[in-house]
Amino acid sequence: MNAHDSSTPAAPADAPVYTDILAAAARIAPHAHATPVLTSRALDELAGCRLHFKCENLQRGGAFKFRGACNAVFSLSDEDAARGIVTQSSGNHGGALALAARLRGARATVVAPHNTPKVKLAAIRAYGADVVFCEPGQASRDEVTAQVLARTGGVLVHPFNDPRVIAGQGTATLELMATAPGLDAVIAPVSGGGLLSGTAIAAQGADPAIAVYGAEPLGARDAHDSLAQGQRITGRVADTVCDGLRAELGTLTFPILRSRVREVLLVDDAQAIAAMRLIWERMKLVVEPSGAVPLAAVLAHRDAFANKSVGLIVSGGNVDLDLAAQWFAAKPS
Amino acid sequence: MNAHDSSTPAAPADAPVYTDILAAAARIAPHAHATPVLTSRALDELAGCRLHFKCENLQRGGAFKFRGACNAVFSLSDEDAARGIVTQSSGNHGGALALAARLRGARATVVAPHNTPKVKLAAIRAYGADVVFCEPGQASRDEVTAQVLARTGGVLVHPFNDPRVIAGQGTATLELMATAPGLDAVIAPVSGGGLLSGTAIAAQGADPAIAVYGAEPLGARDAHDSLAQGQRITGRVADTVCDGLRAELGTLTFPILRSRVREVLLVDDAQAIAAMRLIWERMKLVVEPSGAVPLAAVLAHRDAFANKSVGLIVSGGNVDLDLAAQWFAAKPS
């Protein structure tokens, strides 16, 4: 009998391990912010538990993505860096990769869907990277990325299906666990699964008993359904206001999550926007809808977290203020 | 010849001194947040200097006001606390006093102008305090406050003209100076002058050579004009979107500022809103217009700060999101 039955498969051989995350933390330390962990008595009362918000909206580039991009870019050999770096992104990873490449002195090209928010495109270009547009959906992303790689001879830093990127994302949770010891659970948003994979490896490396949850919009529930069905679901078109969470799990992240994540909690867009407004109003932090999904998940699943100490990865704050005003106006406050 | 000529008068005898601020820091430590000091390379580039933002919008109650209120309330004897605490406030001090009183187990009454923002009234009431309305303007505030004191037998904690409050406000700058050593200048918004007085005493206690500036809206420029004319100006009606900065200097704060502040820098409302938007977008922090006035002052007076290291007190984040959306919409982004 195997130690891992079909419901808890082993992680793949190329998955990063805890020491990779420790190495990533040292590698990115000269460049990344150690972001604050903030608390709110008002939100604790509302949620019925003790919440610790890891503020990656205050990270460089406005999102956790800089951690993974920075670790990957500074892991490259000088020869590879000189070839130029290519990635695909709906926004935050693109900006982060562009910034990391600039710090390394390397050229960067970002393949982005044409419906990427203006504010995220502006950030990518402000860091000096080129943007090449594709259609929404993974197939077009992959096709255009392959074309760019062939044309430029560059090296790929995938936004999530890359062990260096996963290890970098896990460094946020290393800091969270050091600042808020004794967490019962940690919740990260899930899109392609890079952040949630790194979160799980870091959290369980520091405390094997901690419960790791994903939080996902109903309109992009491929991770939830993939874990429930035991196979990776691809080819759906996401429909959610959470523009950072529209990707699907990768071949590397799916088995990592399958072996490590207790559950993926679902929230609808109205719950995400309501949680976003709570964080703006009560914590005075600008977060994007994707970054509010973990709080929305706690509020929608109160019983699972009653009286517990819960870490939430507030993944990013890159939101168009005019769009945000429209979202808030669409709901009674 | 006196050591203090008419342009640099001595501070009054009841002005707090540096050791009062150290004592306040110890007194409020169990209750107040040590707020983060954040930086932004993007805003440094824009301003042409190195900015250190002391994030009092992340303070309990959403503003620095909790520091002074907490120090005053916990300085009271048990007998005085039992009489109930009365204050006057256009908002943030009222909420802070209400919260401090609740922590002390004391009753609180807040005299507030009827045009106080909804979000601030809601905070005062959420902390369990009573609200009594007055007309805008200092005369009505003082008259109604006297009535409430006579009716209730309570003790007054004035929002700024109180040495205990001034000492409490100064604790933010103690933390700022410890986190960002080597500042050339520090800038705080000025309304009644409690924050700026505490800021100056703390900053110059730690480093006598530091330059202390106030930042004030053009439509409430009584502090600027009072220092320029050498006498306290009263009785004007403020006209500014910065609802936290509409008070006038007090009999205690005016001489403190006169002896310690290099200059009060003026900005118009459009500059305040533009700076507020910059902080929301680039730093992912929700600040109210009053809290963005120091950044607006740096951007409006770049030459004074070129290449210097400057601390900014981001005084608060209690803003109505719907109002903020209107302000942003009124300006091209």
Question: What ipTM was estimated for this complex?
Answer: 0.89
Q: Are residues B102 and B188 in the same domain?
A: no
Query: Checking phi first, is residue A113 left (phi over 0); if not, alpha (psi -120 to 50) or beta?
Result: beta
Q: What is the pLDDT of residue B274?
A: 97
Q: Burial letters for A23-37: b for 16+ Cβ neighbours within 10 Å, e otherwise?
A: bbbebbeebbbebbb
Q: How confident is the model at residue B5 (pLDDT cuts 50, 70, 90)?
A: very low
Highest mean pLDDT among A243-247, B140-144, B218-222: B218-222
Check whether residue A74 and residue A40 sit in a common domain: no
The answer to whether residue B331 scores a pLDDT higher than 60 is: no
**Structure tokens of A265?**
């909690």
B280: nearest CB among A60, A283, A321: A321
Closest-CA residue to A55 (of A264, A328, A262, A295): A295
Decide: residue A150, CB within 10 A, 0-12 exposed, 13-18 middle, 19+ buried.
Answer: exposed
Inter-chain CB proximity A38 and B57 less than 8 Å: no
> Is pLDDT at B97 greater than 50 in this prediction?
yes
The reported pLDDT for the residue numbered A117 is 81
Q: Give chain B's domain count.
A: 2
Q: B195 and B316, same structural domain?
A: yes
Beta bridge partners of A212: A186
Do B263 and B126 belong to one domain? no
CB of B330 less than 8 A from some CB of A: no
Range of the domain at B144: 65-156
Among the residue ranges B15-19, B124-128, B195-199, the one predicted with the least confidence is: B124-128
Inform me whether the C-beta atom of residue B250 falls under 8 Å from chain A C-beta atoms.
Answer: no
- Tell me how far apart the alpha carbons of residues B160 and B166 are, in angstroms, rounded to a whole number: 6
Residues B225 and B307 in one domain: yes
Total count of residues recorded for chain A = 333
Any domain includes B48: yes
Under a CB-based contact definition with an 8 Å cutoff, are residues A274 and A300 in contact? no
Residues B270 and B122 both lie in one domain: no
The answer as to whether B5 is a domain residue is no
Sign of the dihedral through C-alpha A70, A75, A78, A83:
negative
Looking at B156, B174, B194, the residue that finishes a domain is: B156
Residue of B284, B288, B327 for testing the chain A interface, max A β-carbons within 10 Å: B284
Whether residue B53 lies inside any domain: the answer is yes
Q: Are residues A273 and A125 in the same domain?
A: no
Dump pLDDT digits (tens) for A5-54.
Answer: 444 556 778 999 999 999 999 999 999 999 999 999 999 999 999 999 99
Residue A2: inside a domain: no
| Chain A residues closer than 8 Å to B317 by CB | 284
Tell me, yes or no, whether B212 and B306 share the same domain: yes
Residue A3 lies in a domain: no
* Residue B30 in contact with partner chain A when CB distance is under 8 A: no
Q: Pick the residue from chain B with its C-alpha nearest to A319.
A: B281
Same domain, B113 and B175: no
In a domain? residue A203: yes
Q: Give the domain CATH number at B261.
A: 3.40.50.1100
Q: Is there a single domain that holds both residue A226 and residue A318?
A: yes
With respect to residue A78, please indicate whether it lies within any of the assigned structural domains: yes
- Do B167 and B297 sit in the same domain of this protein? yes
Return mean pLDDT, chain B. Answer: 93
Residue range A266-281: average pLDDT?
Answer: 97
pLDDT in the model for residue B8: 53
Q: Out of A277, A285, A317, whose CB is closest to B321?
A: A277
- Residue A81 resides in a domain: yes
At residue A331, the pLDDT reads 55
pLDDT at B205 over 80: yes
> Which residues fall within 8 angstroms of residue B194, CB to CB, at 6 or more apart?
B68, B159, B160, B161, B162, B165, B166, B169, B250, B253
Q: What is the SS3 assignment for B76? A: coil
On the question of pLDDT at A247 being above 80, the answer is yes
Position A8 scores a pLDDT of 53
Spell out which residues of chain B touch residue A333, defining contact as CB-CB under 8 Å: 321-322
DSSP A10-38: PPPTTS--HHHHHHHHHHHTTTS----EE
Asked if residue A107 and residue A40 are part of one domain, the reply reads no
Domain end residue (candidates: A156, A172, A192): A156
For residue A10, what pLDDT is reported? 66
Q: Which of B135, B156, B177 is the endpoint of a domain?
A: B156
